Amino acid sequence: MSSFKSIPGTFDILPEGHTSGGDAIAPSRAWQYVESTIRSVMALYGAEEIRTPILEPTELIARGIGQLTDIVSKEMFAFERGSTNYVLRPEVTAPVMRAYQQHHLSQKGGVQRLFYIGPCFRAERPQKGRYRQFHQFGLELIGSTDARADAETIACAVDVYKALGLTDFKVRINSVGDASSRPRYKEALIAFITPFADQLSEVSRQRLESNPMRILDTKIEKEKELLKGAPLLRDFLDEASRVHFDEVKAHLQSVGIPFEEDPFLVRGLDYYSQTAFEIESDDLGSQGSLAGGGRYDLLSTELGSKTVIPAVGFAAGMERLLMALEAAGKLNVEAARPEVFLVALGEAALDWAFHTARTLRSAGISTGYDLNGRSMKAQMREANRQNSRYVVIVGDDELAAGAAQVKDMDQSSQRTVDFDQLATQLKA
- What is the nearest approach in angstroms of ligand HAM to the Cβ of residue 399? 55
Q: Which of 112, 317, 324, 342 binds ligand HAM (CB under 6 A)?
A: 317
Least gap, CB of 292 to ligand HAM (angstroms): 3
Residue 305 phi/psi, 5-degree rounding, is -70, 145
Which among 145, 151, 189, 141 is positioned nearest to 173, based on CA atoms? 151
Binding segment for ligand HAM (CB under 6 A), chosen from 98-106, 211-219, 313-321, 364-372, is: 313-321
Of residues 27 and 138, the one with the C-beta less far from ligand HAM: 138
Sites for ligand HAM among residues 318-337 (CB under 6 A): 319-320
* Nearest residue (CB) to ligand HAM, 289 versus 359: 289
For ligand HAM, the nearest residue by Cβ is 317
Shortest CB 140 distance to ligand HAM, Å:
6
Amino acid sitting at position 372 = N
**b/e per residue 203-225 (b: at least 16 CB within 10 A):** ebeebbeebbbbbbebeeeebee
Residue among 130, 184, 186, 330 that touches ligand HAM (CB under 6 A): 130
Buried b (16+ CB within 10 A) or exposed e, 364-391: ebbbbbbeeeeeeeebbebbeebebbbb
From edge to edge, which strands make up the β-sheet containing 78-81? Answer: 55-57, 84-88, 78-81
Q: Which stretch binds ligand HAM (CB under 6 A): 12-20, 79-87, 135-143, 155-163?
A: 135-143
Of 252 and 269, CB closest to ligand HAM = 269
Nearer to ligand HAM, 226 or 316 (CB): 316
Binding residue (CB under 6 A) for ligand HAM from 95, 143, 177, 293: 293
Which residue in the set 27, 66, 212, 292 belongs to the binding site for ligand HAM (CB under 6 A)?
Answer: 292
Question: Strands 367-369 and 275-281: what pairing?
Answer: unpaired
Please work out the total of residues on this chain that contact ligand HAM, with binding judged by CB under 6 A. Answer: 27
Task: For residue 154, give Cα distances in angstroms to 78, 241, 292.
Answer: 31, 18, 9
Given 131, 137, 236, 245, the residue binding ligand HAM (CB under 6 A):
131
Q: Judge contact between 85 and 78, C-beta under 8 A.
A: yes
- Of residues 61-100, those binding ligand HAM (CB under 6 A): 91, 93
In whole angstroms, the minimum distance from the beta carbon of 402 to ligand HAM comes to 57
- Closest to ligand HAM by CB, 138 vs 368, is 138
181-220 residues in contact with ligand HAM (CB under 6 A) are: none
Closest separation between CB of residue 396 and ligand HAM, Å?
56
Q: From CA 245, how far away is CA 234, in angstroms rounded? A: 10
Local structure of residue 20 (DSSP, 8 states) = E
Contact 131, 296 (CB under 8 A): no
Q: At what angle do helices 58-65 and 93-102 cross, to 10 degrees?
A: 110
Residue 204 is inside which H or E element, if any?
Answer: helix 202-210
Q: What is the DSSP string of 219-242?
A: --HHHHHHTTT---GGGG--HHHH
Q: Which of 294, 365, 406, 407 is the binder for ligand HAM (CB under 6 A)?
A: 294
Q: Do residues 345 and 394 make contact, with C-beta atoms less than 8 angstroms apart?
A: yes
316 is a contact residue toward ligand HAM (CB under 6 A) = yes
Cβ distance to ligand HAM smaller for residue 10 or 28: 10
For residue 50, how far is the Cα from the chain centroid? 14
Nearer to ligand HAM, 298 or 391 (CB): 298
> For residue 314, which of 286, 279, 283, 262 has the smallest C-alpha distance?
279
* Of 37, 85, 289, 305, the one binding ligand HAM by CB under 6 A: 289
Q: Which stretch binds ligand HAM (CB under 6 A): 106-114, 121-129, 246-254, 365-373?
A: 121-129
Nearest alpha carbon to residue 427 among 387, 381, 367, 355: 367
CA distance 73 to 333: 40
Q: Which stretch binds ligand HAM (CB under 6 A): 203-211, 285-293, 369-377, 415-423?
A: 285-293
Query: How far apart, in Å, are the Cα atoms of 417 and each of 347, 393, 404?
Result: 21, 11, 5
Shortest Cβ 204–ligand HAM spacing (Å) = 19
Identify residues 261-280 at the interface with ligand HAM (CB under 6 A): 268-269
Applying CB under 6 A, the residues found at the interface with ligand HAM are 91, 93, 122, 124, 129-131, 134, 136, 138, 140, 268-269, 289-294, 296, 313-317, 319-320
